[in-house]
Amino acid sequence: MVENQAAKTAEDDVKILAFLCNWCSYAGADLAGVSRFQYPPNVLDVRVMCTGTISPYFVIKAFQEGIDGVLIAGCHIGDCHYLKGNYMTAKRFGVLREALKFMGLEEGRLRLEWVSAAEGEKYAEVIRSFTEEVKALGPSPLRKRRGVSREAVGS
Amino acid sequence: MPDKENIYRLVPSTCVYCGTGCGVLLESMDGCLTGVLPQKDHPVSVGSLCIKGWSCHEFVHAPNRLTAPMIRRDGELVETDWETALEAVAEGIDRARGDGGPDAVGFFASARCTNEENYLLQKFARAVVATNNIDHCARL
Amino acid sequence: MSELAEIIKEKLRDGADAFLCLRDCEGTVIPALISAGDEIELDGVQVGSLRYPLEKILARLQERYPDKRFAVLARGCDERAMIELAKLEQLDLDRVVMVGVACSAGEAEACGCDRPYPGEIVLGERAEPAPSRGIIDEVESLTPSERLEWWKEQFSRCIKCYGCRNICPMCFCKECALEDPKLVEPGVIPPESPSFHVIRALDMAGRCIDCGLCEEACPAEIPLRSLYRKMREIMEESLGYRAGESVEEKNPLSFLGSEEDIEKLEQED
């Protein structure tokens, strides 16, 4: 149902994978929901204990499987539950983003944000702006032919 | 240190897996075959190998590799010595040849054997048994 | 007796248990281990014009013989590899005697090497660095979608021989991400583009010492060296780290870094 409503055109039908850290961003997303802030339904959440556990392989795998955008969200620098996990993420992220850029994946498809447990509003805003950005870029060029059947059916 | 000959040695050889004949350097450590490197100046492969070449040492010390001939007795494979095994083979070939002529016998050679061994097998098939029924698992 | 043979004799006399060098063997120059008392083997020893991952062999020899000292021929790239391997706990530099070999100007040019000599040169003359960016400039002039296509064409030739990993002096993991069926589907050739090669490229970030053996070993002529060289550039630009340059400097992807680095990041947030 939700997917059909969101998928008016192929450009709108973008899928975003969001890796959320358990202690801050997942709670932030929860707060956004409880507070009834509106944000687009294109996001698939993956809860991880810390953004530091996110291997760059996960992101590559997601893109290879046809995800249009990947968001990594964790605690603000200095607030990490494990003290310095997000600091390692920040370093790793820079390298990953540059590598994917060199490969020809648009920079806007990958984003790192710090969202605390109290920032429900910010989480909704991040999802809104990121979804807009990914929609503007259109479906990922690596996407497998997911849309073919829909076009063939003509709906 | 053990026998110094055996500590580490690279031996130039030819990959046995197919007819291309890429140059490999077989690496032995403590007298065991442990790895492969491509031979950089080999006229055929010029320092490259395919996945088979890169792992062509693995079967040598493989735990499930047959190290003695096996013979089937009452439906069970049992280890035997070469004399008994070759006798059984000779008898079998003789019987098949007597019943159905030379073309009733077929030979299948292995890429894991050397070129010379394979040459000998085809010679045996063609000149002794008088059949062209010989094939090889990596025929190119 | 050649200059190298004299040096080998000297090192073996001065406490090295064996010397890893290159030697003529049936007409081809390949790595060989010379132990004390092998004078007869010294005949064919040479620096050689073709490179083999000596440090990779050395790391395994050290693991097998933890109480022995090995001497080894070291070009600029070999030295970088050994330094980086030591930082990754794969090699004990205290038990290594390096005999520095400077590459000739022609070799440096052909390699596009930015440091074709080790810290201490024993053999050869120091040649000027001849840094090259390979195909990096060409790729960077393309639009994102063109880049993706360009790489796809390159990677479509991959026969998944794993030669780039097997020959790489910096690849030593017992379990390799490229053999994980969840990341790389087994039995599919060519592998998925670009994930297979991006996984390897990312693992090369902060590790690749730019020896170029990967590209030499690639039967499909994929410009791997340029790809990993770009990862080197990225590491230098974003984290200020060049693999294999100094023994003391820690790899920022393995270590947390200084308090100042963390403060800098806090201010950016």
CB contact under 8 A, C37 and B50: no
Residue in C57, C160, C171, C218 to test binding to B, most B beta-carbons within 10 Å: C57
Report whether pLDDT(C253) > 70: yes
Interface test with C, best of A58, A95, A97, A144 (most C CBs within 10 A): A95
Q: What span, in angstroms and rounded, lies between the C-alpha atoms of C230 and A1?
A: 45
Nearest to residue A28, comparing CAs of A113, A124, A120, A114? A120
CB contact under 8 A, C18 and B49: no
SS in 3 state form for chain A? CHHHHHCCCCCCCCCEEEEEECCCHHHHHHHHHHCCCCCCCCEEEEEECCHHHCCHHHHHHHHHCCCCEEEEEECCCCCCCCCCHHHHHHHHHHHHHHHHHHHCCCHHHEEEEECCCCCHHHHHHHHHHHHHHHHHHCCCCCCCCCCHHHHHHCC
Subunits with 3+ C-beta pairs closer than 8 A to C = A, B
Element (H, E) at C19: strand C18-25
Would you call C195 and A64 a contact, using CB atoms and an 8 Å cutoff? yes
Residue C38 has pLDDT above 80, yes or no: no
Which amino acid belongs to residue B139? Answer: R
Quick one: pLDDT at residue B111?
79
Q: What is the rounded average pLDDT of the residues B114-126?
A: 91
Rounded mean pLDDT of chain C? Answer: 92
Q: Please say whether the beta carbons of C17 and B1 come within 8 A.
A: yes
pLDDT tens-digit series, residues B30-86? 889 999 999 999 999 999 999 999 999 998 889 998 889 999 999 999 999 999 999
Nearest residue of chain C to residue A83 (CA atoms)? C256
Q: C51 to chain B: which residues are within 8 Å by CB?
A: 40
- Is B51–C161 a contact, with Cβ atoms under 8 angstroms apart? yes
Q: How far is CA C243 from the centre of its chain?
A: 10
Q: Return the pLDDT at B1.
A: 53
pLDDT for the residue numbered B2: 55
* Interchain contact, C161 vs B12, CB within 8 Å: no
Closest CB to C145: pick one of A56, A84, A104.
A104
Nearest to C33 among B8, B45, B49 (CB): B8
Q: Nearest Cβ partner of C163 from B23, B42, B49?
A: B49
Question: Which positions in chain C have a beta carbon within 8 angstroms of at least one beta carbon in chain B?
Answer: 17-18, 20, 25-26, 28-33, 35, 37-38, 50-53, 57, 60-61, 64-65, 68, 159-163, 166-167, 216-219
Q: Is B51 in Cβ contact with C52 (below 8 Å)?
A: no
Sole residue written with tokens 């498809």: A109
> Which of C35, C57, C61 lies nearest to residue B4, judging by beta carbons?
C35
Nearest CB neighbour to C161, from listed B4, B10, B54: B54
Which residue of chain C comes nearest to B43, CA vs CA? C28
Instruction: Decide if C148 and A103 are in contact by the 8 Å CB cutoff.
Output: yes
Examine the pLDDT at B4 and tell me if it is beyond 80. no
CB C178 within 8 A of CB C139: no
Alpha-carbon distances of A84 from A51, A95, A124, C256, rounded to whole Å: 10, 18, 25, 8
pLDDT value at C147 more than 90: yes
pLDDT at C168 over 60: yes
Kindly determine whether residue A99 and residue C205, on different chains, have CB atoms separated by under 8 Å.
yes
Verify cis geometry, omega within 30 degrees of 0, for the bond prior to C186. no
DSSP string, B21-40: --EEEEEEETTEEEEEEE-T
What local confidence, expressed as pLDDT, does residue A6 receive? 46
Q: Do A98 and C266 touch (CB under 8 A)?
A: no
Q: Residue B5: pLDDT above 80? A: no
User: What's the pLDDT tens digit per position in A121-145?
Assistant: 999 999 999 999 999 999 999 987 5
> Residue C26's pLDDT is what?
85
Contact of B8 with chain C, judged by CB distance below 8 Å, is answered with: yes
Using 50, 70 and 90 to split pLDDT, how confident is the model at B136? confident
Q: Do A57 and C140 touch (CB under 8 A)?
A: no
Question: What pLDDT sits at residue A155?
Answer: 39
Instruction: State the CB neighbour count (10 A cutoff) for residue A50.
Output: 21
Per-residue confidence at B92, pLDDT binned at 50, 70, 90?
very high
Q: Please give the ipTM for the structure prediction.
A: 0.89
pLDDT of residue A10: 59
Nearest to A36 by CA among A132, A134, A124, A105: A124
CB A43 within 8 A of CB A32: no
CB contact under 8 A, C218 and B48: yes
